[in-house]
Structure 1
Amino acid sequence: MLLAEFLIIHLRMSGDLYVTNSDNTIDQHAHTTITFDNSSELRFSDVRKFGRIYLMKSTKQITSKLGPEPLSKTFTKSILFNKLNSHKRMIKPLLLDQHFLAGMGNIYTDEALHLAKIHPARQSNTLSLNESTSLWRSIRQVLRDGIKNNGASIDWVYKGGNQQNYFKVYGKNNQKCITCKELILKITISQRGTHICPNCQKL
């Protein structure tokens, strides 16, 4: 008898969930198939095999390790400001830390920092209340835009919607910033490719 009460699926970077008929050919990257009573199937396809599937008695085994959900009502401006000031780390790797804030990846972190005009190498505890508030708004805006456009399609692996058509800095190195016309640079922050406008995001 299966004692777990929750099925938790983490798509990570290249995971894809889709429902299909059981008689349809299983693609080579579909690593898990769940068959329903009506013979339809939920398939989990993951080219890079980064995804995870958990059977658990409680969701807290996963969620207790995560930081706040940035689009939740409980994630307020003051919470972000206090959390930033309680750490002395570069802002970009801190935002990517899922224990600090859940759900921020490389693309949307670059976009949010550019929108807030904050350099990704800034120390988190040096942000003013106004800067933190601007970052709070920017994080929520870029995530909502991404959801509205069904995510981004980067290549044949990372396929989604059309948010890539609205990127301001990510993947735009050597192109002009739409705000000030300075050339976008690609630098490395904590071993992650990072896109910035050196004029809008001064260190």
Structure 2
Amino acid sequence: MLGIQGAEVQGVHRRGKYILLPLLGQGLEAQTLILHLGMSGGLSVQPRTQPTHPLVRHTFSLNDGRELRFEDGRKFGKIWLVSDPGEVLPPLSPEPLEGGLTPQLLAQSLEGRKAPIKALLLEQPIVAGMGNLYADESLFLAGINPTRSAAGLSGEEIDRLQQSIVNALTASIEKYENARDESWPDPPRALTGWSHPRTEGAPCPRCNGPFTGTRVRARGTYYCPSCQP
């Protein structure tokens, strides 16, 4: 990528699903490299001698002999180089894992919204960083049917949902970090270990009843009708 040769990465930050790498170098304008992994993308830092995975679309050479590799099998990922991250970042909620997404703020964002709660959880101004599988996991932990209207949720249910969002995201990060450490330097390319199944008819881990599969706003959705009324 033009304009960043010799630049030094000043840090690694994240907003929602966007990864921000501030860059600075002698004689170079301060810029930020922004990456969005899309639906199936991934980043890894590999020795230059490590064979390149066929799904790697972009490679950044580092001065220590390693490479930052951007895998993007479905080609939904994006990369920007900007002087102002505000040029790229859309409206986003406070970060759920940094204490900003309080039950009160979540309730305010959902107030009067008649759409299915699953669909609204995927709106980034409501829950920054939330993805399809994480939304299903959060709703299962909270015991809330994904097809219910958000406007019909009680205050107690919203409190429970907010905590379940934090728990689901925290557990997923821990599982990935463990899997990454075990398989380094070739980290996993998919998350596993969800507390609920993602298969029609699979037994619920709570009540052993069959799981149901449906689509909410065209997104694959799995839930237990008994535990998530």
Shorter-normalised TM-score: what interval?
0.7 to 0.9
Deviation at 1:159, TM superposition (A): 2.5
Decide whether the 8 Å contact of 2:202 with 2:211 is kept in 1. yes
Task: Tell me the equivalent position of 1:66.
Answer: 92
Which residue among 103, 113, 121 is the counterpart of 2:147?
Answer: 121
Which of 213, 219, 225 pairs up with 1:186?
213
Of 38-47 and 48-57, the range deviating more from structure 2: 38-47
Deviates more, 1:103-112 or 1:143-152: 143-152
**C-alpha distance in 1 between matches for 2:159 and 2:216:** 23
Q: Distance in 1 between matches of 2:215 and 2:196?
A: 18
User: 1:104-115 counterparts in 2 under 5 A?
Assistant: 104-115=130-141
Conserved in 2, the CA contact under 8 Å of 1:93 and 1:189?
Answer: yes
Q: 1:196 and 2:223 equivalent?
A: yes
What SS does structure 2 have at the residue aligned with 1:193?
A: strand
Is 1:176 paired with 2:185? no
In 2 relative to 1, CA 152–21 (structure 1 residues): closer, same or farther, beyond 3 Å? closer
In the TM superposition, what is the alpha-carbon distance from 1:128 to its structure 2 partner? 1.0
Shift in Å, 1:13: 2.0
State the SS of the aligned residue for 1:179. Answer: coil
Q: Indicate the SS of the match to 2:96.
A: coil
Q: Helix, strand or coil: the match of 2:100? A: coil
- How far residue 4 of structure 1 moved from its aligned partner, in angstroms, is 5.8
Q: Which sections of structure 2, spanning at least 5 residues, go unmatched?
A: 4-28, 180-187
Q: Distance in 2 between matches of 1:140 and 1:160?
A: 20
Q: 1:151 to 1:21 in 2, by over 3 A?
A: closer
> How many pairs align?
195
Tell me if structure 2 keeps the 8 A contact 1:68–1:102. yes
Contact 2:106 2:126 in 1 (8 A): no
- Quote the RMSD (CA, aligned, Å): 2.3
Cα contact 1:90–1:124 (8 A) shared by 2: yes
TM-score by length of 2: 0.76
Deviates more, 1:135-144 or 1:5-14: 5-14
Q: 1:159 corresponds to which residue?
A: 189
| 8 Å CA contact retained: 2:139, 2:161 | yes
- Partner of 2:16 in structure 1? none
Query: What is the alpha-carbon distance in structure 2 between the residues aligned to residue 151 and residue 18 of structure 1?
Result: 13
Q: Residue by residue, what CA displacement relative to the aligned partner does 1:31-83 show, whole Å, maximum 9, x if unpaired?
A: 11111223322111211111111111122233342233221212111001111
5 Å-filtered alignment, 1:1-203, equals 2=3, 3=29, 5-150=31-176, 159-160=189-190, 164-169=192-197, 171-202=198-229
Taking structure 1 as the reference length, the TM-score comes to: 0.85
CA distance change for structure 1 residues 97 and 152 in 2, over 3 Å: closer, same or farther?
farther
Q: Which moved more, 1:71-80 or 1:38-47?
A: 38-47
Query: Is the partner of 1:144 in helix, strand or coil?
Result: helix
Q: Give the direction of change, closer, same or farther, for the CA distance of 1:148–1:104 in structure 2 (3 Å limit).
A: same
